[in-house]
Amino acid sequence: MSRAHTVAFFPEAAYGPALNSVAIAQAVSDLGHEAVFLTDPSLTSVFEERGFETVEVDMSDPTLTPEEKANYWDEFINRHIPNFDDPPYDQLDTYVVECWEAIVDTAKWAEADLPEALESVDPDVVCVDNVIAFPAILGSDVPWVRITSCSETEIPDPNVPPYLSGCLADDREGHHAFEARYKEVIGPVHDEFNEFLAENGVEPYPRGLFLEPSPYLNLLKYPDRLRWDRWNQLDPDRFRYINGCVREYEPEYEVPAFDGHGDEALLYLGFGSLGAGDTELMKRFLRFFGDRPYRCLVNVGEYAEEYDEGGIPANVRVERWFPQQSVVEQSDVVIHHGGNNTFNECLYYGTPAVVMPYVWDGHDNATRLDETDHGLKLHRSNWSNDELEAAIETCLTDETIRSNVATTAEEMQAAQGRETAARLIDELLVEHV
């Protein structure tokens, strides 16, 4: 191990990358280094509650109040709920382009605070878990690590489906059509991004690229057994897979007793903050569960007030939040949206999943899970009761799916992804600091 150093983590202002960075930071701390988080104010408590020092970097307009930011988010979700039903190709003109516009704005806002934040922390290495470049980091003399919490498809290759496409591995026609349309649609926002880079002394990126690989170290969270076959193999000295990189185990969840329900299969439904906003769809799930012989835990996020207690079936528990690792480990089947934390936690704990994606790389994760027989993919809303019940029963009983998930879980747990990530960061410190 190197002598003690300061390792700064700068994740995207979203729970998935934030908690993945927590996992690595915990292991980095175990090696004796000091982990510090550069964070948007909205996530400061996530890191401080876990014992980490933070330095705030605004990634949105700092003149807005928390209420105004929340209202913006609610409006964004409500505006795009109809688009959640569209296939990935059709989402390019709506959700995807608006997301990239918002992400470019986050980079611009962050650039106002980042130079001072880096100076105050004085890190020996910076770990960036984001999808966009920050000139202050690229232009500093500090080695930086790129952490890819999102799907492996974020690192392009001619033999890998385009990022966000949800294409099957062998759908060459679909690959080409999606990539061409993607580059066309994001053209204006990408031009704006390149102007921002130029203003800050960074060379322009090729169309479609918003973040380059690190010249030092790149950590891919993706599970090893679900990787795609690449035509251009990644340099093993710079690109390393960390097999889901699950954080330290958080609080144990005690499954409640359900009146009139004993040992039926336990299901967990979690659709993330975006999906939870579609309360009509969530209520449809509640009605479905109420007529089936399952025990069900349903995460409704910040929308708990939308659910009348009298309308919640006896075999369902609705909560704003669950200690997800414990719940996933105890569940027999998880129904989720393809978010990277839930996707990896299900595989890590050996729990089959029905994935019902609606945006971003949830489409990629759902397709990959289905085509490798680790679970099933369904449309988020265009399903009949019989179809959803059949998918759940398949995940409960199909020997191929259950065997694949068990094997992948065994390998992911043995790989010790977060410890591997910390060791690689430590080796980087030895070499460059």
Q: In the predicted model, what is the mean pLDDT of residues 30-35? A: 96
User: What does the block give as tokens for 364?
Assistant: 């990629």
> How many structural domains does the chain have?
2
Q: What is the dihedral of CA 422, 423, 425, 426, to 10 degrees?
A: 120
Cα–Cα distance for residue pair 355/360, rounded to 1 Å:
13
Same domain, 280 and 188: no
The per-residue pLDDT of the chain, averaged, comes to: 93
Any domain includes 305: yes
Same domain, 294 and 205: no
Judge whether 64 and 35 are in contact, CB under 8 Å.
no
Indicate the pLDDT class of residue 1, thresholds 50, 70 and 90: low
CA 121 to chain centre: 26
pLDDT: which is higher, 311 or 108:
108
Reported as a single tens digit per residue, the pLDDT across 87-108 is 999 999 999 999 999 999 999 9
pLDDT of residue 399: 97
Residue tagged 């207690």 (tokens):
309
Instruction: Read off the CATH number of the domain in which 79 is found.
Output: 3.40.50.2000
Q: What is the dihedral of CA 411, 416, 420, 422, to 10 degrees?
A: 160
Residue 314: name the closest of 286, 340, 345, 350 by CA.
286
Judge whether 54 and 36 are in contact, CB under 8 Å.
yes
Any domain includes 261: no
Residue tagged 């799916």 (tokens):
401
Same domain, 180 and 296: no
Does pTM top 0.95 for this prediction? no
For the chain, percent of residues with pLDDT exceeding 70: 99
* β 6-11/34-39 pair status: parallel
CA distances from 329 to 94, 143, 149, 177, 320 (A): 36, 37, 21, 39, 19
Sheet containing 353-355: give its strands across. Answer: 316-319, 295-299, 266-270, 333-336, 353-355, 375-377
Judge whether 131 and 211 are in contact, CB under 8 Å.
yes
Same domain, 230 and 336: no
Structural domain of 74: 6-247+415-432
Q: What are phi and psi of 139, to 5 degrees?
A: -90, 0
Judge whether 290 and 268 are in contact, CB under 8 Å.
no
CA 242 to chain centre: 14
Element (H, E) at 160: none
Reported as a single tens digit per residue, the pLDDT across 184-223 is 999 999 999 999 999 999 999 999 999 999 999 999 999 9
Same domain, 66 and 194: yes
